[in-house]
Structure 1
Amino acid sequence: MENRTLRVFKTTDYREKPNSDELAFGRTFTDHMFVMDYSESEGWHDAKIVPYEPLKVDPAAMVFHYGQSVFEGLKAYLNPQGEPLLFRPQKNIARLNRSNERLCIPPIDEDFLLHALKQLIHIEKEWIPEADGTSLYIRPMIISTEPFLGVAPSKQYKLVIILSPVGAYYKEGINPIKIAVENEYVRAVRGGTGEAKTGGNYASSLKAQEVASKGGYSQVLWLDGVEKKYIEEVGSMNVFFKIGDEVVTPQLNGSILSGVTRSSVIQLLEHWGVNVRESKLTIEELYEEYTNGNVEEVFGSGTAAVISPIGQLDWNNHQMVFNNGKTGKLAKELYDTLTGIQYGRLADPFNWVEKVTAHNEMHKVG
């Protein structure tokens, strides 16, 4: 029987909060974190909010040797009244469980984890920055902690949520970025772990990102790992192409992450009456549409950057410049609308936003 009690232990050593104009992405962390453990005999148990501190993990913990880990990324925002808001948190928690299933990690109680997250956000409310474009990044993660060197699913796990006040993910902000199409390295294939949010996917992308960065690119655009011709996703984002009178995005195929922002963009576009097509798209087809003058805008979507216009895409010595390297009208409308909803400045017709309210600091669910 899993224990559903949440205990809170507050710090006595509060950290100095950074100025909003000094925020980088993921460099500063708040005073508290959430932790919960799993064992076969007790299930998920010992849920608590504690002062932020290093984890004590055995050197033989299986995560270090076989990479059995998953994580998520979402944000908390302040509305004009100074109240904390979460954007579609249930989607992230549900995706965490889908990643768990792929990595053989026991599922979590989604309602309880959302309750714990809201309590953590309430305690750390003063860490949510107020400046435009800033937010509190939320990183839930699960690692396998059983000290065992056999190749098998772990029998022990630790779930942690840490928080980080952040500015813009890209130094370019909403300005267009330059991206290279990756032709040599492979990140994921269908049947692999590409649709799970697991550390190994990102480790396998580092070499290509390193090479691209040296060439002056912000990110790489991945092609499928088998035929190396179908467009999949950018390193940290799903990708959209406005071709003529429709918007095309690669369909989910088992090797592409099902982005929460991706889903929101599709829903918004359909709400606006824009034709949206989820389908296979080869890099050759995109280049042909580009040479025919049909590609009007390209942009990425993700929790970190929200909407990131792509001004230039380089492939096989072909340079594709979109919308004269400027932010397109549709990308700007999507960014303004999504951030307007996230920060509580615009109406939320989809009920995407959840307000974080005060809870009792000792709470039992179920």
Structure 2
Amino acid sequence: MSTTDRPDASAPAASDVAARLRGADFLRLVAAPTGDALAAAGLLARAVEGPYQATVAAFPADAERATGADCTVGLGLETGDVAVTDAPVSRLAFAVADALGGADPWLALAGTVAAGAEPGGVPLEAADTERRPGLAVPTADPVDGLAHTALAHGSFSGDREAAAAVLDAADSGTDEDTRRKRASLVALAVAEESTPRGATAVERLLRPHAGGPFRTAGGYADVLDALARTRPGLGVALAAGAGDREAAIEAWRVHGRRAHATLVAATTARYDGVFVAQCEPGDPDHDPPLGTVARLLAEFRSPEPVVLAVADGRAAAHAADGVDAGRVTAAAAEAVGGTAAGTPRAARARFRADTTEFAVAFREAL
């Protein structure tokens, strides 16, 4: 299990990691399937001078392969010669890249937002950005952005017509006034149908840090998180500075539609301390994005502090402060002969048992 976010976790110093990377003839970067870890991989890939290989792996066992690398760095994952697991991992990766001679502040800001943290420090200063009114989306069209964002969930999610209906009343003269009103209308729409946590969670979508390759730091974060979970190859290329922006935006749209559709169609049950969502694929050719579904349910729908989203042989958990999702998920996976990885806030598992059996084991571990 990763020790990300744990108070007793010992994070490696940026200078120590930089020294290891300088001495590597061939570097391997292994990122967890999150926007934060993907951003960290991109920061390091852009900073190193020698050859490297970058991959995304959901579990440490998936990262075990024979390569010629003489140094492997795990990002958000307990694997390799160096494991960077204190979230946001992109924050330390920025410091390492800076020590190596060059770091992209926008990539660091996006990783920080993807981790659910507030941007700050040197990356924010280097990006020379300020918060402005409006929505943190990666597209010029706010309707497109609102319909497909995974930074919030509401009646507008996954539906362009519904998103347009929310925003139609926002035209009020100046661009700044219009952006401010759009944000207010979205916040109101979320508040009307969300749990109290949603009023706080929606703030990631509002008053964005403007700029960067995807218009806002939040929009960039949303794209990276979508790619990490559904198109990791494209995500690695994009984070390393060579990906197709339009392909990334389309993958982000698809991820948003699938996540929101899966959430709406899920069969849910409330237990003491945990909200369980049984998810169907919807699209037989693609697995439902359980990690995103679990987070959205936890932030905007669940009356309980922990959400467990399960589908055939897979599960994702998301927890509020005070509950260790990583520990509970690992215990449940062990009970049914599966495997798990993640952090106290968000974890994932795979198993061969029935989904109901895993859900029962999860509740018992909780």
TM-score, with length taken from structure 1: 0.29
Which of the pair has more CA radius of gyration? 1
TM-score, with length taken from structure 2: 0.29
The structure with the largest helix share of the pair is 2
The structure with the largest strand share of the pair is 1
